[in-house]
Chains A and B, each alone.
Chain A
């Protein structure tokens, strides 16, 4: 066993060719992100060309074009932030629970944030994205902890349990949300615009109000990389390597909750980014969590920005919210994954 193990907790686990491959993938990821960024400021109800964008960036563009392109900056920034948060949160959750289905949305965190926001809007006069951010966070945190408590009742944790526990909690919180929103038209109005998950129609204030949470969560995630690698070898091995499984799990859950709460508060619940990106990253870049987290941070924003662009283009002049687009991309991917599942879990 020990003689064939290539990935000690702090070891690279990659040969020289592996490193070259990773560098190539990194360049590819950066290029894809750059492309997605350009697309996000180019396309919309009125499209501009790449030349226009370059002109805007160099300050030589037509004022009208400048206005159009600059109006897309906030949603692009939010797309990057939310995509990064969701993808990294997904990677953390899948690492912590060793559950390939773990994802913020499936684990009740969205429902917790939603319920908290609805309660705050209904009874505590919360309005505007900065307020709701402060409410989404405790809601998400409590829901996340609850799901883990329910999911780890009995012995051990299984692939399906946490997801089911998330479904249960979501159902109960959903009943609460529907009860409140249906009895209060004002709350219903703001909730139905929030719940579709949209990047548009928000300004930089939203970005800056969630930025600190995202930053803390991301730094914590980066710091947890080696610990997650150790955890992947099993609890006993992790302990013998000098790690503390419980601390790593707690830290991972905290970071994932901070990240997904930040994303959910900023742009509404967006499904499947946190589920799909880690799978793709793992398939391409391998199992080292330090690498996975960095690549998720590249791939998440790319996916979310592209989904947003698709949503803007397919239904012109109106647009499809990014949350709807990701559900339509992600759910079929999940269904295909189910078909390939082996055994009973």
Chain B
């Protein structure tokens, strides 16, 4: 510990480290909202502005989702309808059709954004997201197997959950270095994804066409016909996990400077990483169980959040908001675009996210990162 920064830091009392000290970059330490010793949420002005803007955009997208199209609730009627006076068609649309779907989209987007931010922070790799490392393919395979082998006993969502967890375990084991080495992570993910895809394709081949079509929609990530129980699931998980991520957010921020430095600063990088990965897997597994494996939200949301604010750190809150915005906007496209009818939302996110991933790759290796 150097003593030159005494004016802004205090001696470290224990392994957890006091939250508000030692801001990693040039940002002043006073720019943190601290709650007790462990929670320190960066409240840099740019973050606050970005969060506010994102929140407004999420609300706009949500209102558009509820009010657009043939079945939409008139904008004029919307406030009244939302506060409980909905009648007839509006009531049906809000309670049965678009209400639960929108709520699931908001929660799933936030969970995916958060999960991606955690993964990318831990791997210190913009590509370290559940999509790239085979989670979606594993979930698809799990869903396919449960639909083919246990059509009546095991819900597809449970199968997807099990498949996702197994895929992550397989990637973890086969890299030999955990989740830390980006190149190995990606290549192992490709291998695991290949197994998952082969299973899914075989099941889709072996089933009757109608069932196969439904399964294909699900394994692409779909928000069609969601119920309030799906919404409850994802929001409950979020309510439990999000505060925990806030607890470790500060230490992840430190961890991004490198393990040695983090250790020197009194945080335990290994334990932090393990906790973060577990939380990230819980979040993405929860979103898989309510919406299927929606592609690329977890990958792109943290990157967009990072580029909007242009400051370092995992940006947990901003990533979650960006995730919500992306998924609600994609689902709005899925519901309203006349080009294709009733496509699962995952196809839109796959197209957009794939293009964005391409841009990101070129950018990263221009800078010589990969």
A→B interface (CB under 8 Å): 101, 106, 150, 153-155, 158-161, 163-165, 167-169, 171-172, 174-176, 178-179, 181-183, 185, 188-189, 192-193, 195-196, 271-272, 318, 320-321, 323-324, 327-328, 330-332, 334-336, 338-339, 341, 344-345
Contacts and interface: CB of A to CB of B under 8 A. Distances in A.
Contacts of A189: 209
Contacts of B209: 185, 188-189
The interface centre, meaning the residue of B175, B197, B205 with most chain A CB atoms within 10 A of its CB, is B205
B362 A175 contact: no
Interface stretch (B255-263, B285-293, B342-350): B342-350
Given A178-B216, A327-B197, A335-B191, A192 B205 contact: yes
Interface stretch (B12-20, B111-119, B157-165, B181-189): B181-189
Interface in B72-123: none
Interface string B178-210: 000111101110111011011101101110010
B190 A167 contact: yes
B318 interface: no
Contact of A165 (B220, B340, B358): B358
> What are the 3 tightest A-B residue pairs by CB atom distance, in nearest-first order?
A171-B354, A327-B198, A175-B351
A172 B350 CA distance: 6
Nearest to A345: B183
A235 to B, nearest CB: 19
Contact of B370 (A158, A172, A328): A158
Contacts of A332: 191
B216 A182 contact: yes
Interface in B1-30: none
A42 B97 CA distance: 57
A331 B194 contact: yes
A181 B362 CA distance: 30
B361 A150 contact: yes
B217 interface: yes
B176 A164 contact: no
A272 B202 contact: no
A340 B220 CA distance: 33
Given A178-B220, A193-B205, A195-B201, A341 B183 contact: yes
B178 to A, nearest CB: 12
Contacts of B357: 167-168, 171
Interface string B207-229: 00100110011001000000000
B182 to A, nearest CB: 8
A106 B191 CA distance: 10
Contacts of B212: 188, 192
B239 interface: no
Given A183-B340, A335-B174, 14 more contacts: A150-B361, A153-B362, A153-B365, A158-B365, A171-B296, A174-B354, A175-B347, A188-B212, A271-B194, A323-B198, A327-B197, A335-B192, A338-B176, A341-B184
Given A178-B216, A324-B198, A339-B176, A344 B354 contact: no
A341 B187 contact: yes
Contacts of A341: 183-184, 187
Interface SS of A by simple majority:
helix
Contacts of A158: 365, 370
B203 to A, nearest CB: 10
Contact of B184 (A164, A192, A321, A338): A338
Contacts of A175: 347-348, 350-351, 354
The interface centre, meaning the residue of B182, B183, B197, B296 with most chain A CB atoms within 10 A of its CB, is B183
A106 B186 CA distance: 12
B63 interface: no
B201 A192 contact: yes
24 contacts: A153-B365, A154-B368, A160-B187, A163-B186, A167-B186, A168-B355, A169-B358, A174-B350, A175-B348, A179-B343, A179-B347, A189-B209, A195-B205, A196-B202, A271-B194, A323-B198, A327-B194, A335-B170, A338-B187, A338-B188, A338-B191, A339-B175, A339-B176, A341-B187
A164 B181 contact: no
Contact of A154 (B186, B216, B362): B362
Contact of A321 (B197, B205, B358): B205
Nearest to A168: B358
B191 A331 contact: yes
A158 B362 CA distance: 12
A345 B368 CA distance: 13
Nearest to A152: B365
Contacts of A327: 194-195, 197-198
A189 B361 CA distance: 34
The interface centre, meaning the residue of B170, B213, B217, B295 with most chain A CB atoms within 10 A of its CB, is B213
B341 interface: yes
Contacts of B176: 338-339
A172 to B, nearest CB: 4
B302 interface: no
Nearest to A183: B340
Contacts of B213: 182, 185, 188
B29 to A, nearest CB: 34
Contacts of B344: 178, 182
B310 interface: no
B269 interface: no
Interface string B303-347: 000000000000000000000000000000000000011111001
B186 A164 contact: yes
B249 interface: no
B195 A165 contact: no
A263 to B, nearest CB: 17
Contacts of B354: 168-169, 171-172, 174-175
Contacts of A164: 127, 186, 361, 370
Contacts of B204: 192
Contacts of B128: none
A293 to B, nearest CB: 25
B70 interface: no
Nearest to B366: A154
B343 A182 contact: yes
A138 to B, nearest CB: 21
Contacts of A328: 195, 198
B353 interface: yes
A188 B205 CA distance: 10
A137 to B, nearest CB: 22
Contacts of A192: 201, 204-205, 212, 216
A106 B187 CA distance: 10
